[in-house]
Structure 1
């Protein structure tokens, strides 16, 4: 399978070159797409220089900061147009270890979506204070209860999708960003009957640059998940999961969205 590792950036000049180098070393056959939202710190220029030296590195210049979800959706569309079989989400800040990409990709042998999970046995979080851990774990727990999903790390941004499965999620209908983007993509995957695997990862607090996390992102996720739950999507997700279990593992039965 040809994999495209999608890395959205906004002011990641300090880290992008090192992360790309680690990705290329970890999965030499994969391609890398840097989706830069017109970073004022020159990240886009660094990305162009990397692409000029390596035919497996590509750059998608976007007109301005439009949010994490929009960047990933644009990167997915770019990858689908060029025939990549697997589309990977990964942060540029070093919190996701490129060295764990082979394990994530291997999980797609029996899944349509592989999630690098922190909150399952074998998962490790380094450098986070207790408050950040509680926010992340509570967010995933709330999503599980409200939406009827079973995965333990609903907000993880380290994921790999089979490209053939993405159209079933209807990503063109996704308008979330930040935490809520990851949650929405997950429950759409459940509704569509996708096979989902969680792979334990070691997650570290960002090594360089400034965190993009804010109270607004957390509130957006809470509001959206609550609205989806009240709209009955949790029940629909549970029913879709049950239908998928009855269907063939090779060809899960899609649910109407």
Structure 2
């Protein structure tokens, strides 16, 4: 526990009440109804915000129809006119959720790689006092299903590199299935974040650690998407490599100056 840790309290109800799941989308018209159906089946009281980056395949219209059909008003849709990366989509979704005072905001992919049926594990850790909970593929109990070996090697390599460069103990700092207490997002300087993809996830986790919050990992099963294609590209990987090296150097320099003083 850090000096920011607080007594455990129930901020999310057992059926998901109090939580907002932010799901960025770009060309996910087939996956979106499936993942939202599973999510609301697992946690009937949770709310969902679909952040669509003007998908040319009509994902935004599908999201609008899902929202219109949901009499309980749990599904919300944000239409963005630009496609400028996963990080920017999440930041827009976070701002929307914070403006509406959701106590917990969750990241989840639209492609089915994150199992909504396991989200309760993350929320249980939040209720146990954690500030950020990461659904981890690389802690005991975590699993990978049908993932290409090349992607697995790349992911494990990126996590090892980030852990060594930053001096972090997080095993899956690139993971995109995570739950934040709203206070974390209000504290860590989201207006200064300009990262995308893998780098966005590392950036926010590192900021959370640096701010002294309680970060935990819980095991999840990550399943390769069955429909559509991955959005990962070489530019995102290069950005991550350079940014992590810079953050690691800045962190070590700051510690050196503190110890010297």
Same fold (TM over 0.5): yes
1:86 counterpart = 2:116: no
Instruction: State the shift of 1:169 in Å.
Output: 1.1
Q: SS of the residue aligned with 1:208?
A: coil
Q: CA-to-partner distance for each residue in 1:4-49, whole Å, 9 max, x for gaps?
A: 0000000001100110111111111110000000000000000000
Instruction: State the shift of 1:239 in Å.
Output: 11
Q: Is the 8 A contact 1:116 1:156 kept in 2?
A: yes
Aligned equivalents of 1:26, 1:145: Cα separation in 2: 37
Among 37, 44, 47, the residue aligned to 2:63? 47
Name 2:4's counterpart in structure 1.
Answer: none
> Could you tell me the TM-score, scaled by structure 1's length?
0.90
Name 1:251's counterpart in structure 2.
Answer: none
Structure 1 residues 235 and 92, CA, compared in 2 at 3 Å: closer, same or farther? Answer: farther
Structure 1 residues 123 and 47, CA, compared in 2 at 3 Å: closer, same or farther? Answer: same
Name 2:43's counterpart in structure 1.
Answer: 27
Name 1:254's counterpart in structure 2.
Answer: none
1:148 counterpart = 2:167: yes
1:62 counterpart = 2:80: yes
Aligned equivalents of 2:208, 2:236: Cα separation in 1: 22
Aligned equivalents of 2:84, 2:150: Cα separation in 1: 27
Aligned equivalents of 2:117, 2:55: Cα separation in 1: 26
Q: CA-to-partner distance for each residue in 1:204-234, whole Å, 9 max, x for gaps?
A: 111211110111111111111112222x225
Instruction: State the shift of 1:133 in Å.
Output: 1.0
Name 1:137's counterpart in structure 2.
Answer: 156
1:221 counterpart = 2:240: yes
Aligned equivalents of 1:51, 1:238: Cα separation in 2: 52
1:179 counterpart = 2:198: yes
Structure 1: segments with no counterpart, 5+ residues: 241-257
Q: Is the 8 A contact 1:147 1:235 kept in 2?
A: no
Give the root-mean-square deviation of aligned CA atoms: 1.7
Q: SS of the residue aligned with 2:40?
A: helix
Instruction: State the shift of 1:237 in Å.
Output: 8.3
Moved over 4 A (4+): 234-240
Aligned equivalents of 2:256, 2:43: Cα separation in 1: 35
Instruction: State the shift of 1:236 in Å.
Output: 5.1
> Could you tell me the TM-score, scaled by structure 2's length?
0.88
Among 203, 208, 229, the residue aligned to 2:227? 208
Among 94, 114, 124, the residue aligned to 2:143? 124
